[in-house]
A and B are shown apart, each in its own frame.
Chain A
């Protein structure tokens, strides 16, 4: 994508450096002058937002680890110590706990963006797969981190999730005991969860490097879903997209700041303010909001092993999306049928989340329709969208005509744009 390097070292020092470790040239080519489609919209700023939040989680996490004690007797108290005694501890912890929620909000928007504009299609299959891998590791990291405060919900979430593996016939029990390091979730479990929670973000950083590398080979997809054909279709990343990313990051941080400063506990369960107790299960075990759709998939199936398989399949299916969508056209802008199924899919994920947030025997609003059936239908649609609708619509749909180039499409209505802007 990036042509020959245009970097010219100007001083003796940079010339010396450039012939030994061309790090300035690398930055110049991949950050400053990187040719980027000129039509990227707001939904393309979430990659940058995600990078920011990964950095924020690592920075606040390292600091929190200086005050936290991963021991079943003392973990809960050390969190209270952070909240009450450590200077600015409350702020750092709320940034970290709400940062996780914002991280997931951003990743979901980023993923829906990819699904809408067909960003997973050739030649970006590996880019997408690396993304799903990143998302999987995010889930794992968030789950491990949620155990650390050692509240009731921490403890029981850890118990329920690790017990998922007990569904495996024969090897289930030994695997679960191996994960626990005992006969139940206890200090050894907490200690290893802490160790892995500290490790995985750095694995994420490594994968992000690969993700960006895989992005910079074919270059960005764009809302039109057509390839860049000439330099007229692109603008340099800096200042065009550095400014755009920075602006929308700031908007997103306003939402983040609202949660951190005005509703810091809004997204967490009050049960977690109670010390973990292995003898008493809370009346209801509810995961964090960002796991609710998967939780509904698990609960929708009355058989244990099948439920667990469906849960993992819901995530695993994402890896195969590049080969499930058979359409030659990338962007849903030119796919009138797929576009409708896509928006139903977005609604479906929200419905799955809503069902997961409610008790298992709840009914829909004031009706007598059991939510479990709504969850089952939504689960069915979730899988049907990927396994049936994507291949079939891709084959049968007649897409609208594509514009011949990004530049023509964007610049032909430029006067019109200026008019409406004034």
Chain B
């Protein structure tokens, strides 16, 4: 600062920097469409919601649907499975957050918080029946494999929910991770009951 000899900026310096700056901004603006084109296209986004009829699903059954090109598990839990999920204290969980798109981000991972809140304004809502239904994305939160469902007839893993064969992660009957390496509970997608036997996901 003190001794360095710096000539006053000339008109040429100004033009040089201004041209360079404009050129950079222009190049970045031209580059953006080339990057953004790789994001999900309009037709992909348009197919982002589906409706599911729950009537044919029996207690103890877990059915896999496809939503946003990923598996979606819809599980009708037995009273024993609900009981097992409710008996676990939240402090014992690997991931204490509900990961429920229908709830605030910091909701704790209680069994209730893993379901959709029945605040859909339906007059004939039967909340106690709806606790049977667990809807989670069938994407292991480790590296995206599809976990296998454990049913009362064919148990897989120790927690009665799902077992991911890829790297050995296990989930309980509320889709919460109980054995790693998966870092998070299975995600609960945004969904709502349209009636007692119909949901819309997305």
The answer to the question of A419 belonging to the interface, with a C-beta cut-off of 8 Å to chain B, is no
Contact of B68 among A178, A184, A281, A285 (CB under 8 A): A184
Bound together, the chains give a CA A185 to CA B69 distance in angstroms of 7
Given contacts A188-B41, A303-B181, A361-B168, contact A160 B146 (CB under 8 A): no
Q: Please, which residue of chain B has its CB at the minimum distance from the CB of A164?
A: B143
Closest chain A CB from B41 CB (angstroms): 7
Q: Which residues of A contact B38 (CB under 8 A)?
A: 178-179, 181, 192
Is B66 a contact of A181 with CB atoms below 8 Å? no
Query: A163 contacts the other chain (Cβ, under 8 Å)?
Result: yes
CB distance B145 to A186 under 8 Å?
no
- Is A360 in the interface zone, CB < 8 Å from B? yes
A177 within 8 A of B: yes
Kindly state the separation between the CA atoms of A283 and B181 in the bound complex, as whole angstroms.
17
Q: Give Cα A227 to B144, complex, Å.
A: 52
In contact, A181 and B145 (Cβ under 8 angstroms): no
Which B residues touch A12, using CB under 8 A? Answer: none
Contact with A along B161-191 (1 / 0, CB 8 A): 0001111100000000000111100000000
Minimum CB–CB distance for B86 against chain A, Å: 28
Contacts of A164 in B (CB 8 A): 143
| Chain B residues with CB under 8 A of A184 | 68-70
Given A160-B166, A181-B44, A304 contacting B39 (CB threshold 8 A): no
A284: interface (CB < 8 Å): yes
CA of A192 to CA of B40 in the docked complex: distance in angstroms? 12
User: Are B69 and A160 in contact, with the CB atoms below 8 A?
Assistant: no
CA distance A188 to B146 in the complex (A): 21
The answer to whether B166 touches A281, judged by C-beta atoms less than 8 angstroms apart, is: yes
Decide: A156 and B145 in contact? CB cutoff 8 A: yes
Known: A284-B165, A304-B181. A163 touches B144 (CB 8 A): yes
Chain A residues lying within 8 Å of B168, measured Cβ to Cβ, are 360-361
* A267-287 contacts to B (CB < 8 Å): 278-281, 283-285
Determine the residue in chain B with the shortest Cβ distance to A298. Answer: B143
Contacts of A192 in B (CB 8 A): 38
Does A299 count as interface, using CB distance less than 8 angstroms? yes
Using A304-B181, A360-B167, A361-B168 as known contacts, say yes or no to A285 and B64 having CB atoms under 8 A apart: no
- Asked whether any CB of chain A lies closer than 8 Å to the CB of B71, the reply is yes
* Bound form: Cα–Cα A164–B35 in Å: 20
Interchain CB contact under 8 A, A283 and B70: no
Is A415 an interface residue, CB under 8 A from the partner? no
CA distance A332 to B181 in the complex (A): 40
Contacts across chains A and B counted by CB atoms under 8 Å: 85
Q: Which residue of A lies closest to B142 (CB)?
A: A304
A302 and B181 in contact (CB under 8 A), knowing A160-B143, A160-B145, A182-B44?
yes
* Residue in B69, B138, B166, B180 whose CB lies within 8 Å of A284: B166
Name the distance in Å between B131's Cβ and chain A's nearest Cβ.
26
Q: Is residue A307 within 8 Å, beta carbon to beta carbon, of the partner chain?
A: yes
- Total interface residues in chain B, CB < 8 Å: 29
Contact A163 B64 (CB under 8 A): no
B28: shortest Cβ distance to chain A, in Å? 17
With a cutoff of 8 Å between Cβ atoms, the chain B residues found around residue A213 in the complex are none
Query: What are the residues of chain A within 8 A of B181 when measuring CB–CB?
Result: 302-304, 307
- One digit per residue, 1 when the CB lies within 8 angstroms of any chain B CB and 0 when it does not, for chain A 123-167 equals 000000000000000000000000000000000100110111010
Task: Assess A278 versus B44: contact at CB under 8 Å? Given A156-B145, A285-B145.
Answer: no
Contact yes or no, A283 B165, CB < 8 A: yes
Those of B5-57 within 8 Å (CB) of chain A: 35, 38-41, 44, 48
Q: Is A183 an interface residue (CB 8 A)?
A: yes
Instruction: Give B49 Cβ to nearest chain A Cβ, in Å.
Output: 12
Please report which residues of chain B, range 147-171, place their CB below 8 angstroms from some CB of chain A when the two chains form the complex: 147, 164-168
The answer on a CB contact under 8 Å between B166 and A181 is no
Q: How far is the CB of A331 from chain B (nearest CB, A)?
A: 41
Chain A residues in 8 Å Cβ range of B143 = 159-160, 163-164, 304
Bound: A157/B108 CA distance, A: 33
Q: How far is the CA of A284 from the CA of B144 in the complex (A)?
A: 13
Residues of A within 8 A of B68 (CB): 182-184
Chain A 257-272 near chain B by CB (<8 Å), digits 1 or 0? 0000000000000000
In the bound complex, what is the Cα–Cα distance between A138 and B185 (angstroms)?
A: 35
Q: What are the residues of chain A within 8 A of B66 when measuring CB–CB?
A: 278-279
Contact A183 B40 (CB under 8 A): yes
Residues of A within 8 A of B146 (CB): 278-281
Q: Closest CB-CB distance, A337 to chain B, in whole Å?
A: 37
Q: How far is the CB of A279 from chain B (nearest CB, A)?
A: 5
Query: Please, how many angstroms separate the alpha-carbon atoms of A184 and B44 in the complex?
Result: 10
Q: Are B166 and A285 in contact (CB under 8 A)?
A: yes
**Is the beta-carbon distance between A279 and B71 smaller than 8 angstroms?**
yes
Chain A, range 302-319, C-beta contacts under 8 Å to B = 302-305, 307
* A364 CB, nearest partner CB in chain B, Å: 18
Q: How far is the CA of A307 from the CA of B169 in the complex (A)?
A: 15
Task: Give the residues in chain B near A360, CB-CB below 8 Å.
Answer: 166-168
Q: Which of chain B's residues have a CB closer than 8 A to the CB of A162?
A: 144
Further 18 A-B residue pairs, CB within 8 A, beyond A163-B143, A305-B183:
A166-B144, A181-B38, A181-B44, A182-B41, A182-B68, A183-B40, A186-B44, A192-B38, A278-B66, A279-B146, A281-B164, A285-B166, A302-B180, A304-B142, A304-B143, A304-B182, A360-B166, A361-B168
16 contacts between A and B (CB under 8 A): A177-B39, A177-B40, A178-B39, A182-B44, A182-B68, A186-B69, A278-B66, A280-B146, A281-B147, A281-B165, A284-B166, A303-B181, A304-B181, A304-B182, A360-B167, A360-B168
Q: Which 4 A-B pairs have the closest CB atoms?
A: A183-B68, A184-B69, A163-B144, A281-B145
